[in-house]
Structure 1
Amino acid sequence: MPPAKVVEEPDDSRTWELLERCLLPIAFSHAVAVTLASILNTLGISQTSSFVLFLLFLFFSIGITLFYHNLKVTAAGKAILITGCDSRVGYALAKRLDELGFIVFAGFQNQSECEEKINKLKEDASGRLHILQMDISCERDIHSTFLYVNENLPDGAPGLWALVHANAWITLGECEWVPPSVVKKSVDINFTSVVRLTQIFLPLIRRCKGRIVLVSSILARIPSPVRGIQCANGAAAEAWGSCLRLEMRRWSVDVVIVETGEYVAGNAWLKDNVALLNQARDMWVQLDPQTRKEYGEELFQKEMLSLEKYTKGPDADLTRVLRALIDGIIKTFPLKRYTPVSRKERMQAFVSDHLPKTIYDIIYTD
């Protein structure tokens, strides 16, 4: 029986991005028009309508905004480091940026486990692409990568144009059940290592007035049971990235956050149905007796098996995610945040951000 086709809704994320870009010019045009019309009318110089002035200012401000919104950098002589190329997002991004003419350093968490994927990437890519062993939680790998990138920058390039954090390690399970060792590893890969890697490469990025791109998830803004660790890591990374953006403005370094949909990012701790039961038993054994008694083994196994919907099913369409990532890399004036998600996810994030939490719980909590 052929697999069910996934019906993808139209990508309207560009419309939202353009609207976000134009909100300030619209507000500015209105404020200037009202102020100027009031001054002219008060002094008796002219009886010009504020609406006419608004349309005039709006025409020029939107035109200038659209011009700057679509400016792009040239790929020639620019190098990009991407972590987590063993994931679908990182792999596809490395391949696409190589096609655009960038020098790409593709970091793989474990080269020995990705030989087939690496060989395929080498076949499809140009000689500009470099494959690196890069466990971002290993200090030795980080420093060796820095030395390699620094020695293999394009001729005449002052530094690294972009650092893309596409590495992710997804942790599933209720907050009380996830073992401390798994929590520690998840935080280390998804947050601590991102901070450390950025600190090491910032001097190279600063010289190039380049940018840092964080691949996050919409879960950073919406609470989701059994994915609490993932939500927390995403929120921490985004808050840190927002602060870094403010600190880097003096050097014209951009920090861009790309929030993907729920089923796009990284490698899961609970990878497949075969491993689910074994990992569930491990978690069950590590819980203290009182907790096991309160939950009951039947409820625990039922909850663990329900996680299959997060690890199975058709692969998410990466088209809109790749488009947002590439825009964040090649646009001269990128947005601070790109959200290439479905309308349902966008609405859920809006409700979570702007409406009382009680309303969110009523709508989205089972």
Structure 2
Amino acid sequence: MPQTLNKPPEDSQAWELLERCLLPFVFSHAVAVIVATILNTFGISQISSFVLFLLFLSVSLGSTLFYHNLKVTAAGKAILITGCDSRVGNALAKQLDDLGFTVFATFSNKNENNEIACKLKDQCSGRLRVLQLDVTSERDIHSTFLYVNEHLPDGAPGLWGLVHADAWVALGECEWIPSSVLKRSVEVNFIGVSRLTQVFLPLVRRSKGRVILVGSLFARIPSPVRGIHCAVKAAVEAWGNCLRLEMRRWGVDVVIVETGEYVSGSAWLKDNASLLEQARDMWTQLDPQTRREYGQELFQKEMIALERYTLGPEADLTQTTRALTDATVRTFPLRRYMPVSRGERIRALLSDHLPKPIYDILYTD
């Protein structure tokens, strides 16, 4: 039984509230200075800019907090979640079902995960539907679209939420990853996400719903051995930001939830029993010159070190599930949620703003 990862208390909700209130704070200060200057110049009033600032701030913050806590009604709304064979997708399906949504929980391979699918169905209400959906299969995508379109709740104009929780993680140095594994990672994590969204956007537009992307903090943090994962997640986030701008005219929200360490989907390197065997397969596919330059000892040492990514303690998904739920139920969701630890948040901040040579010294082994 894997142990649960013990992390410091999360403060992601405080950061989200701070982000929401930052603009009203700046706006109140600017308006207060302008209004006070005009009143004093024309001798209308001698009120100070500080008093006006407090007045405007109380009104703007009160309005912001009111709108921040508004939630949609779950009854009559449908959500499609991909990757429910992962811990993130599975936990979210249960949470949204408990809130009263009609959930279409999809599995990338329903036959292989039949036990998990049956358990999920038993733990949830009769509203939840379990479907087969391989996001790399055009046939699965269209058959799922037809099923969802025919089984929307009565009176629902379309699909309220499309949550991309499916992921396939490829680990290893960039030069070592076989082309077949690289192709699979791109197909699942990027092409599948974009194609599934294209097919379901008409349903989402009809309900003025939202598209929710489960990203990764490593889209912004360079990390050796996870280069392919960093690259595909960065591609998804860039694509999601563009989609958000395009969908504004339709009233459709596009939300990115950046998860942290250990919160991933299925990994190519799955367990310790097959780890060394997969490492040898990868090694034999390298050309002889590359094998000589790296050396057998270095290769095996780095591959064994990957166990901390595949066999590490299980992450506490409470904050991730909470962020995904907020992105679904808030009337005015944030554009980005970061349910990560304080250390991960600081690392992302330093990666964004520190000179790269200094960041590399601090965080690269």
Residues in 1 aligned to 2:132 and 2:287: alpha-carbon distance in whole angstroms: 39
User: Which residue type is aligned with residue 54 of structure 2?
Assistant: L
Residues in 1 aligned to 2:136 and 2:4: alpha-carbon distance in whole angstroms: 37
TM-aligned CA deviation for residue 355 of structure 1: 1.6
Aligned pair count? 365
Residues in 2 aligned to 1:5 and 1:161: alpha-carbon distance in whole angstroms: 33
2:47 maps to what in 1? Answer: 48
TM-aligned CA deviation for residue 119 of structure 1: 1.3
**Which runs of structure 1 show a deviation greater than 2 angstroms over 4 or more consecutive aligned residues?**
2-8
CA separation of 1:255 and 1:29: change in aligned 2, threshold 3 A: same
2:241 maps to what in 1? Answer: 242
Residues in 1 aligned to 2:3 and 2:211: alpha-carbon distance in whole angstroms: 37
User: Which residue type is aligned with residue 46 of structure 2?
Assistant: Q
Is the deviation greater in 347-356 or in 161-170? Answer: 347-356
TM-score calculated relative to the size of structure 1: 0.98
1:314 maps to what in 2? Answer: 313
Please show how residues 179-328 of structure 1 align to structure 2 within 5 Å.
179-328=178-327
TM-score calculated relative to the size of structure 2: 0.99
Deviations along 1:220-240, one digit per CA (max 9) or x if unpaired, are 110000000000011000000
Deviations along 1:142-170, one digit per CA (max 9) or x if unpaired, are 00000000000011111000000000000
Residues in 1 aligned to 2:312 and 2:276: alpha-carbon distance in whole angstroms: 18
Matched, 1:167 2:184: no
TM-aligned CA deviation for residue 46 of structure 1: 1.3
Matched-pair contact (CA < 8 Å) for 2:4–2:314: no
2:17 maps to what in 1? Answer: 18
Matched-pair contact (CA < 8 Å) for 2:3–2:314: no
Matched-pair contact (CA < 8 Å) for 2:4–2:316: no
Secondary structure of 2:255 counterpart:
strand
Matched, 1:126 2:121: no
User: Which residue type is aligned with residue 70 of structure 1?
Assistant: N
Please show how residues 78-117 of structure 1 align to structure 2 within 5 Å.
78-117=77-116
TM-aligned CA deviation for residue 92 of structure 1: 0.6
Secondary structure of 2:162 counterpart:
strand
Point out where structure 1 has 5 or more consecutive residues left out of the alignment: none
TM-aligned CA deviation for residue 219 of structure 1: 0.6
Secondary structure of 1:8 counterpart:
coil
Point out where structure 2 has 5 or more consecutive residues left out of the alignment: none
TM-aligned CA deviation for residue 8 of structure 1: 2.8
Secondary structure of 1:112 counterpart:
coil
User: Which residue type is aligned with residue 175 of structure 1?
Assistant: C
Matched-pair contact (CA < 8 Å) for 2:172–2:226: yes
Deviations along 1:102-158, one digit per CA (max 9) or x if unpaired, are 000000010111111111111111110000011110000000000000000011111
TM-aligned CA deviation for residue 358 of structure 1: 1.6
Secondary structure of 1:333 counterpart:
coil
TM-aligned CA deviation for residue 89 of structure 1: 0.4
Secondary structure of 2:112 counterpart:
helix
Residues in 2 aligned to 1:5 and 1:329: alpha-carbon distance in whole angstroms: 26
Residues in 1 aligned to 2:33 and 2:73: alpha-carbon distance in whole angstroms: 40
User: Which residue type is aligned with residue 221 of structure 1?
Assistant: R
Secondary structure of 1:55 counterpart:
helix
Secondary structure of 1:350 counterpart:
helix
2:69 maps to what in 1? Answer: 70
TM-aligned CA deviation for residue 5 of structure 1: 6.4
Secondary structure of 1:128 counterpart:
coil
Q: Percent identity?
A: 72
Select the structure with the greater relative contact order (CA < 8 A; seq sep ≥ 6): 2
User: Which residue type is aligned with residue 68 of structure 1?
Assistant: Y
Residues in 2 aligned to 1:183 and 1:291: alpha-carbon distance in whole angstroms: 18
Residues in 1 aligned to 2:357 and 2:343: alpha-carbon distance in whole angstroms: 19
CA separation of 1:67 and 1:264: change in aligned 2, threshold 3 A: same
Residues in 2 aligned to 1:362 and 1:136: alpha-carbon distance in whole angstroms: 39
User: Which residue type is aligned with residue 32 of structure 2?
Assistant: A
Pairwise CA RMSD of aligned residues?
Answer: 1.0
Matched-pair contact (CA < 8 Å) for 2:2–2:314: no
User: Which residue type is aligned with residue 26 of structure 1?
Assistant: F
Secondary structure of 1:304 counterpart:
helix
